[in-house]
Chains A and B, each alone.
Chain A
C-alpha cells in the first residue's frame, strides 16, 4: 500500500526547494573525525533520517544543524542563509531530545510555551495560551497543561517534548532518537503519530536513529552513515532493494551474505565464486572490478525452502524455527555456506508444510534476487 504513494511522492519531493544544506561540513574532536565533509541538502517538507550505529556521526550532523556544534570546516545553510556560526538560540529549528530534556520546574503548558515566550517583544498571553492548547490537541494531551512533568508517563513526556518543539513552527524539526526510551508498542504508535503529524504540519523532519525499522517505516529518505560519512542515501525502498555495499545491506533489513570473489561481470550481472569453488550469479551493485573480493547478499524472504530437491537447490539442515505470525523465520545450516536465514510467508508454509529443527530441506533463490556487493 505504501508503494502506491511512493513513486508519485518521490517525484514531487525531488523538486522541492532546499530548507537546509550542508556543504563539506566537517567536525573534528581532537583526532576523531565525527563528520567528514558532509554535503547534502534537505528538501522542504521532507522526512529525512540519519541511520547508523553509535559513533557514525549522525548525532553530530544533527547537532551542527541545531547549532550546538560548530563545524571545524565547511558550511551549514538554513533556508538559504549561512548559519554556520549562528548560535542555537537564533536558529529557526527545534529539537526533540533523546531524553526529552523537559524543564522539571515547569508545568506541561509552561514547557510548551517556553519557546514562544522567548520572542521579544513578549507575545500576547492569550495568543500563547491558544497556541499551547492547539499543540496539546495535536499530541492528544488536551487538558494536561497544568500538570507537572513528573506526573506524566514516559509516552506522555515524549508528546510534551514534541509539542514543545512544533508549537514554534520550526523550519526543521530535529528528532534525536526520540523513541528510544519507549516500549515497543508505544514506539510503533508514536511512529505512526509522528508520520501523521509531519504530513499535517508540512514541517521538515530530520530524524536520527540507530533503529532501522524506525527509519524505514517513517522516512521519505534515509542517509546511511558510517565513520562520519554518508555511505548511501535514498528512499527506504531503494536502500532495501539497491544497497551499494554489504554495510548498507546489513543495516537496512536482514540479509544473508556469501563471501567470494567476482569471477564474471557483464553490464549488471555477475558471478561470484566462494572459497570452496561454488558459483552463484546475481546482479552487481556498486563499483566492483573483476576479481575483487565481493559478497552475495540474499534477503531471507527471497529464499525458498522446500522439502524436495530442485535443480540448483542446496541441501540444508533446519537449525531453528521462529514463528513470527505472518512469517516464520528459519535458521538453516549449509555445509559450506554456513548458517542462513530464511523467511517463509504464512501461505507458503501452509501449502509446503513446516519444518522442525533437525529436518532436512533444500533452499533455492532466483539468481536475479541475489545482489553482488563490495565487501564492506
Chain B
C-alpha cells in the first residue's frame, strides 16, 4: 500500500503536466473543431462538420506538407547515413567526439538566423548569381520547394545523424568479422548485417525528423516566401491572422490524426523487426 502511494506521488507531476498541458488542450482543440467562427473572429460553440468539410480549402498546405515532409526525411536519411557510418565505423576515435560536436554545433544558433543565411545563399545575389556567371542561365531558387527542401534537410540533418550514429556505434563489430569469415564481401556484409541492425536507428531518426517536419512552419515561411506553405503555416494563419479558430482546430486535428497513423505504423514496423530485442528503441 505504502509503495503504491509513493509510486503515485512520484508519477503525479508528470501525470499532471501531461493532463493539463497535453490532454486538456487537445480536448479543447477537438471541441473547437466542431464549432464555428464568431463574427469578429474566435469561436462560437456549435456542433457541425462544416470545418472538416472545408478542409479542401487548405489542400495545398496538406499537399506540400505530405510531399515535402517525407521527401525531406528521405533526403536527410540519404545524407545522414553515410555521414553517421563514417563517424561510427571509419573515423579515427581520436577525432570522433570533435566531429560529433561539429554535427551538433548548428543547434547553438537559432534556426531563424540560420534560415536567414539561406535566404542570402539562395537569393538572387547568391547561388543563382554564381550559376548565371558560370553560364548556366538564370535560375530561381529562393521561394521554391527546392529552397524549402534545402532548408529542411539542412536544419534537421543532426536529428537524423545522431540516432543512426548511435545504432551503428553500438553494432558489435565482431559481427562484421563473422560475416567476412563466412565469405561475405564488404558490400554484402553491409547489406546483410550492418544495414538491418542499424534499422532501429534509421526508424528513430526518420520518426523524429518526420514528426517535427509535419509541424514545421518557420522554414517554409522564410524560404518558401508564402508560395510553399505547410500545414504549420496554415495554422499560424488561421489562428493568428484570420482568427478562424474553428477551422484552424479542424486542420490541427487532421494533422494529429495523420501523425497518429504514422506513429502507429512505425510502432508496428518496429515490432515486426523486433527480432533484435535489445535494439528496439523508441528513444
A90 and B183 alpha carbons, distance in the complex (Å): 6
A93 and B177 alpha carbons, distance in the complex (Å): 13
| Chain A residues within 8 Å of chain B by Cβ, number | 26
| Contacts across chains A and B counted by CB atoms under 8 Å | 71
Known: A118-B188, A119-B183. A105 touches B196 (CB 8 A): yes
- CB pair A104–B181 under 8 Å, yes or no, is no
The yes or no answer to B185 lying at the interface (CB within 8 A) is yes
- CB pair A89–B275 under 8 Å, yes or no, is no
- When C-beta atoms are compared, the residue in chain B nearest to A118 turns out to be B183
Known: A104-B275, A105-B276, A148-B275. A115 touches B183 (CB 8 A): yes
Instruction: State the Cβ distance, B149 to closest chain A Cβ, in Å.
Output: 33
The yes or no answer to A202 lying at the interface (CB within 8 A) is no
Instruction: State the Cβ distance, B125 to closest chain A Cβ, in Å.
Output: 51
Residues of B within 8 A of A322 (CB): none
Interface residues of A, Cβ cutoff 8 Å to B: 66-68, 87-90, 93-95, 97, 99, 101-106, 114-115, 118-119, 148, 150, 164, 168
Q: Which of A89, A93, A99, A150 is B174 in contact with, Cβ under 8 Å? A: A99
For chain B residues 159-199, which have a beta carbon within 8 Å of chain A?
Answer: 172, 174-175, 177-186, 188-189, 192-193, 196-197
Q: Which of B178, B276, B279 is A97 in contact with, Cβ under 8 Å? A: B178
- CB pair B182–A87 under 8 Å, yes or no, is no
Q: Say what secondary structure dominates the interface of chain B.
A: helix
Interface residues of B, Cβ cutoff 8 Å to A: 172, 174-175, 177-186, 188-189, 192-193, 196-197, 273, 275-279
Known: A104-B275, A105-B275, A148-B275. A114 touches B182 (CB 8 A): yes
- CB pair A118–B182 under 8 Å, yes or no, is yes
- CB pair B185–A103 under 8 Å, yes or no, is no
Residues of B within 8 A of A97 (CB): 174, 177-178
Known: A95-B178, A101-B172, A104-B197. A89 touches B276 (CB 8 A): no
Q: Which of A99, A105, A115, A148 is B182 in contact with, Cβ under 8 Å? A: A115
A74 and B113 alpha carbons, distance in the complex (Å): 60
Q: Which 5 residue pairs of A and B lie closest in terms of their CB atoms, listed nearest first?
A: A118-B183, A115-B182, A101-B178, A101-B174, A88-B180
Known: A118-B184, A119-B183, A164-B182. A103 touches B193 (CB 8 A): yes
